[in-house]
């Protein structure tokens, strides 16, 4: 009995030891995780939200690092500041990789590249050209100098602690200097040039880096499991709206649907859909640098076009409103790069389209109100018909596809063409077309 208990006890210990060994072995053999997100658009509030969420997810998963593959022309300085702050304070190392070949880190993208714990580029890429443009305003010489100095101080604040070349980094801001991968590496602006993500992770394995807070970290990226950080539903919906051209087209489409609701009341659908589109467009535009004066031009344009419906001016009010609308849309968003401004083609298409369509609707409504509607026998005056039988003097004629009783002052044979000259009750007064023409 005692031996049996002792055997059971030993067996239980062996099982516990085996279980813990398997758990420990599994933990040791589990591949490290590297979270990956892709910045392939302008730098704006949605990009900042995407990066912040990627850092949080990588941190919660205790990932080895967060890899950001970037290809951007630049973007808003305000959003860039938020993103740099998130990178510098990230709990996990952040690797920025300009890839694939042909990509760039322009303007704001260069600020992000220099903020990363590890900065890398693929062959055939470029980085730099970061001279600031004040968002939403035009700059005088003094203001331009202040903004440039502020941007350079911002860049110096983290480039120097990273041990990178401050002078070369400032050249990108002061003189819009751009760098190839080889130039950036030789000037100590980046850490690596690698042709692909696997090659980059292989090169980083075992590499010791110093975080912005001074913490020493050794990266273990060999055979790392790549986990994509996919955009959320909100990010997928609103990221395209960060293109001012898309936002403007949605705004004008919504306004046109609302205008249509006033001309076809009771349908509800155009008005409801139009209101939704306008709200979405306004939400998106609220995140971008806009001119208040341009909003006034757009509102004035809508008022003038609407006044055309009440006070017909032979198109003068509508034409002036259309011009104001085009100018207002063209100057509405003043981003630091062309991708964050409304293009001339978009402003013309939206403004002229809205002006022409609303003018057509206004004129159609005006004619409907002022044209006298003719129905019944009165609508037959002057119409040409064909005698279906001899009129002697009464018989039937076919006019406008309908059979009518008619009377003629002189007998008219069947098949002859007649003209309606009057009416008596529901009987048409006609005469031979030849006689009517001669008369």
- pLDDT for the residue 25: 41
Match domain 376-438 to its CATH number in 3.40.190.10, 2.40.50.140, 3.50.50.60, 3.40.50.11810.
2.40.50.140
Under the banding of pLDDT at 50, 70 and 90, the label for residue 228 is very high
What fold is seen in the domain 26-232?
2-enoyl-CoA Hydratase; Chain A, domain 1 (3.90.226)
Q: What is the largest CA-CA distance in the chain?
A: 139
> Tens of pLDDT along 37-88?
999 999 999 999 999 999 999 999 999 999 999 999 999 999 999 999 999 9
Domain limits of the chain? Answer: 26-232, 243-370, 376-438
- pLDDT for the residue 51: 98
Rounded CA-CA distance 363/101 in Å is 55
Q: Is the pLDDT of residue 19 over 60?
A: no
**CB of 269 closer than 8 Å to CB of 94:** no
Rounded CA-CA distance 235/245 in Å is 18
What number is the average pLDDT over the span 153-158? 95
Distances in Å between the Cα of 190 and the Cα atoms of 75, 88, 126, 137, 220 are 21, 16, 11, 33, 20
What number is the average pLDDT over the span 329-338? 91
Q: Structure pTM?
A: 0.74
Q: Is the pLDDT of residue 438 over 90?
A: no
What number is the average pLDDT over the span 89-109? 96
Q: Is the pLDDT of residue 131 over 80?
A: no
376-438 matches 26-232 in CATH topology = no
412-416, long-range: CB < 8 A, 24+ apart: 412/387, 413/387, 414/387, 414/388, 414/389, 414/390, 415/386, 415/387, 416/386, 416/387
Under the banding of pLDDT at 50, 70 and 90, the label for residue 433 is confident
> Tens of pLDDT along 261-294?
877 766 778 889 999 999 999 999 999 999 999 9
Least confident of 67-76, 238-247, 353-362: 353-362
> Tens of pLDDT along 165-175?
999 999 999 98
CA atoms within 13 A on the CB side of 185: 13
- pLDDT for the residue 29: 46
> Tens of pLDDT along 185-198?
999 999 999 999 99
**CB of 44 closer than 8 Å to CB of 12:** no
Rounded CA-CA distance 167/174 in Å is 10
Share of the chain above pLDDT 90, in %: 65
Identify which of 24-38, 175-189, 403-417 has the greatest average pLDDT: 175-189
Under the banding of pLDDT at 50, 70 and 90, the label for residue 22 is very low
């Amino acid at each position: 009995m005692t031996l049996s208990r002792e055997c059971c006890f030993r067996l239980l210990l062996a099982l516990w030891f085996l279980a813990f060994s398997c758990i420990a072995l599994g933990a040791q053999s589990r591949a490290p995780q590297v979270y990956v997100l892709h910045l392939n658009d302008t730098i704006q509030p949605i990009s900042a939200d995407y990066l912040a969420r990627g850092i949080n997810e990588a941190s919660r998963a205790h990932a080895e690092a967060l890899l950001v593959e970037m290809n951007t022309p630049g973007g808003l300085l305000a959003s860039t500041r938020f993103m740099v702050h998130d990178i510098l304070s990230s709990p996990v190392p952040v690797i920025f990789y300009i890839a694939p070949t042909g990509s760039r880190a322009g303007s704001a993208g260069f600020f992000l590249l220099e903020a990363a714990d590890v900065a890398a580029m693929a062959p055939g890429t470029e980085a730099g050209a970061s001279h600031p443009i004040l968002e939403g305003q035009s700059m005088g010489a003094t203001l331009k100098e202040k903004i440039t100095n502020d941007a350079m101080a911002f860049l110096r604040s983290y480039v120097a602690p990273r041990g990178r070349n401050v002078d070369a980094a400032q050249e990108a801001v002061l003189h819009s200097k751009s760098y190839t991968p080889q130039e950036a590496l030789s000037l100590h602006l980046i850490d690596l040039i690698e042709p692909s993500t696997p090659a980059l992770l292989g090169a980083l394995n075992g590499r010791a880096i110093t975080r912005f807070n001074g913490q020493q970290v050794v990266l273990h990226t060999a055979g790392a499991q790549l986990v994509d950080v996919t955009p959320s539903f909100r990010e997928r919906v609103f990221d395209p709206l960060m293109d001012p051209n898309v936002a403007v087209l949605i705004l004008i489409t919504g306004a046109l649907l609302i205008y249509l609701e006033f001309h076809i009341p009771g349908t509800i659908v155009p008005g409801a859909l139009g209101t939704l589109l306008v709200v979405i467009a306004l939400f998106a535009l609220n995140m971008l640098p806009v001119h208040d004066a341009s909003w006034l031009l757009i509102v004035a344009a809508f008022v003038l076009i609407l006044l055309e419906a009440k006070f017909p001016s032979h198109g003068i009010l509508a034409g002036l409103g259309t011009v104001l609308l085009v100018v207002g849309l063209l100057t509405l968003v003043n981003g630091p790069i062309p991708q964050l401004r409304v293009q001339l083609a978009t402003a013309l298409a939206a403004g002229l389209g809205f002006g022409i369509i609303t003018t057509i609707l206004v004129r159609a409504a005006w004619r409907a109100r002022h044209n006298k509607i003719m129905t019944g026998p009165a609508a037959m005056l002057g119409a040409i018909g064909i005698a279906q039988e001899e009129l002697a003097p009464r018989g039937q004629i076919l006019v406008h596809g309908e059979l009518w009783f008619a009377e003629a002052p002189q007998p008219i044979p069947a098949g002859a063409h007649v003209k309606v000259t009057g009416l008596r009750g529901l009987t048409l007064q006609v005469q031979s077309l030849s006689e009517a023409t001669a008369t």
